[in-house]
Chains A and B, each alone.
Chain A
């Protein structure tokens, strides 16, 4: 009988009490979901993507629901890093779990400047680099689809901080492993897979795109099988930990990502629907481990069985 299983995992030197993290842009700046539960229960919190200066975001409509999915083109509306540090961080500092900032730059220099600024802020535990937002004109995904530029951005951030650097990748590339390997070589301590998939929706009556931005990024259960596949693929090609995300709605989804080798998972769109999702996943993972007599969550990570064997260098053999 396992009374309290050990759910802690390590991501690039960062110790998390459990593998459940909130995804950027779906947990605000931390205070919005306070009425619902104590965020200290989570493995870590990734706050809304920040840029050097405030960004207004895109014109509306910014979101549209599609079958099992959410298509968004928010356009990284945010208050800017300085206002975040002054106004939001004091509150976040009271939360007893690592705070990770997600950063976005228009230029490579922006990323470097932000990394330098964050380096001086003790309460921020790690940096997640966003080179994968599909809804901004410059930077964002443009940096994440070219392995050389992705490596340059990573390198510039790593050079300006001693904190662990996580790179969040876009799925909108032909071979995600090339980008993954490039950012690993450049010093990334972990990789988040994956940001949203490019998509669009059309209003037949008006013959107009449903989003003012024309295209958006798709998230939610609709993308889970594709995200899971990408995690599986990246895990087989890099040595650094992979954080899995894409359509995780409950603990069973989380387990799928852990089984293909994700060291931790992020809950995104589900936070918007049921604000307690991340906390419920932590509780259900604990219950699951107790039920299955698993003393340590690491026993599950990468435990995918392929032809009766544990999957180690799984890759995508079947597809070759």
Chain B
């Protein structure tokens, strides 16, 4: 079992970096030393707050100076709206690191990252970690609805990323979806078969998973799930297992959030 901590941390920064998109950082040497790419945190929105009631899960977006953790989030509801009002110095309770995290690729393995919207959050951390150990460029397909939502381009340039950007309306980068790029890419004759790491909306992940089956590629997806605790207790975050004989459902918080695509029953997703 992974080591899990509950810590009250002090927010170092919490700023808007794009339309409705925020980057938050806080200091915790212990959490930073434990965190692996693909793992997540359960963040409490204030001890006296009963509405919103539950903690919110956030992927770890990156680590800085070995003692700072960052999360990237979009303001989409009551919880994230409230979170966006937190100021430097405010205390928040964080539980983590939770979940399994990504299996790192082997040193000479070709990797392909596919991120949709906030799906970039855990993949950014993964590229950050891989950047320290691998020399070759990582191919990444990153998609947003419009240019207004696009974030992190400069930061990704600092990492060793060969980035292809898409927007659905074509207002920046290539017009279309990241899955269109994947189609084109896999349509070429590839000298080396890539391992796919994907995170984003479920319909996108479903398409990518199916592609990976067609081309017989190893594919890891990081899933989202409605969860109350993140600790394997509430059993809220169930996803149907592909081979349900042994285990009918997996729990995103404990068995995931990263799954080899073939473990999931995509028919019902």
B-contacting residues of A (Cβ < 8 Å)? 25-28, 32-33, 35-36, 56-65, 67-70, 72, 74, 77, 220-221, 249, 269, 271-276
Contacts and interface: CB of A to CB of B under 8 A. Distances in A.
Contacts, number: 101
Contacts of A59: 238, 240, 268
Interface in B139-180: none
B248 A65 contact: no
Nearest to B232: A32
9 contacts: A26-B234, A32-B231, A59-B238, A62-B237, A67-B51, A70-B228, A272-B234, A273-B53, A274-B47
A74 B236 contact: yes
A271 B231 CA distance: 11
Contacts of A56: 244, 248-249
Interface residues of B, number: 33
Given A62-B235, A274-B44, 14 more contacts: A25-B233, A25-B234, A26-B234, A32-B232, A35-B4, A57-B249, A65-B52, A65-B54, A70-B53, A72-B228, A221-B50, A221-B53, A249-B50, A274-B47
- Per DSSP, chain B at the interface is loop
> Max chain A CB contacts within 10 Å: which of B5, B44, B93, B231?
B231
Contacts of A27: 233
Contacts of A274: 44, 47, 93
B226 A60 contact: yes
Interface in B240-262: 240, 244, 248-249
A173 to B, nearest CB: 26
B201 interface: no
A229 to B, nearest CB: 19
A32 B249 CA distance: 18
Contacts of B249: 56-57, 60, 77
B136 to A, nearest CB: 38
A4 to B, nearest CB: 27
B227 interface: yes
> Max chain A CB contacts within 10 Å: which of B4, B52, B239?
B4
B208 interface: no
